[in-house]
Homo-oligomer: A and B are copies of this chain.
Amino acid sequence: MCELLGMSANTPTDIIFSFTGLMQRSGKTGPNRDGWGIAFYDGKGIRDFRDPDPGCTSEIAELVQKYPIKSETVISHIRQANAGRVCLENTHPFTRELWGRYWTFAHNGQLQGIKSRPLEFYQPVGTTDSEYAFCWLLDQIRAKYPKPPKRRETLWRYIRKVCNELREMGVYNMLLSDGRDLGCYCSTKLCWITRKAPFTTASLKDADVTVDFHQETTPDDIVTVIATQPLTDNETWLTMNAGEMQVFYKGETLAL
């Protein structure tokens, strides 16, 4: 299975610690060696890095681990290919523009029959069921809301409804963002943790790395990390239920 990683924060924050843990699972402590990718929002813009090679040995992943890119919203993914060959265009996250914003999407799971759904505006570039599902999802949103609804809750409730439909086709764990909100849908496996003052020390499960967040933060920081499986072994992560959606804005949950 693939693994997902997301972050939502109220201040530009680097994700080096969590990303380092995730990259171990891309070929070293985990089997997800068929590519990796990460997208960082900076304002409305995006910086992304990706490789169809294992993250644990990728030179570009190494750069991302060394260079503290700060962002309020991040989506990352490591891939174990099942549908679609191993190549750059099949690496997550995928990005498309809607309403003058970049939407970014990563998926863990498999969807039976998704490719028989007709597509209207968006077409996949690669051959994964994931990118197809993303295009179909954006098509639904665009058809329902030619212009963005006034209240973000209205939009995310609709997205949750479409995700429920996708979940019926197989396994659909998803991260989706427009750069402001980070929507997390759980089909089988997704968990999250919010870190805020008083900050403590955390240690990675997959590498001998410990960080004292107290040294790295200010008392007002709120940082939520979402992952397929907990990345640390000394903190309590909240496990999401099947069919549950959480939307984070600046690190805090939105009531839907």
Contact = CB atoms under 8 A, between A and B. Distances in A.
Contacts of A52: 42, 45
Interface string A122-163: 111110000000000000000000000000000000000000
Contacts of A96: 97
Contacts of A45: 50, 52, 87-91, 125-126
Interface residues of A, number: 31
Given A96-B97, A97-B96, A126 B44 contact: yes
Interface stretch (A21-29, A59-67, A216-224): A59-67
Contacts of A125: 44-45, 97, 100-102
Contact of A67 (B60, B102, B126): B60
Given A60-B67, A67-B59, A87 B123 contact: no
B87 A43 contact: yes
A249 B49 CA distance: 26
Nearest to A95: B95
Interface in A23-69: 42-50, 52, 59-60, 63, 67
A89 B100 CA distance: 11
Contacts of A101: 125
Contacts of A124: 100
Nearest to A99: B123
Contacts of A102: 125
Given A44-B125, A99-B123, 14 more contacts: A42-B87, A42-B88, A43-B88, A43-B89, A44-B88, A45-B88, A45-B126, A46-B89, A47-B49, A49-B49, A97-B122, A100-B124, A100-B125, A101-B125
The 4 closest A-B pairs by CB, nearest first: A45-B88, A45-B89, A100-B123, A42-B88
11 contacts: A42-B52, A42-B88, A44-B89, A44-B125, A46-B88, A47-B49, A47-B88, A59-B67, A63-B63, A97-B123, A101-B125
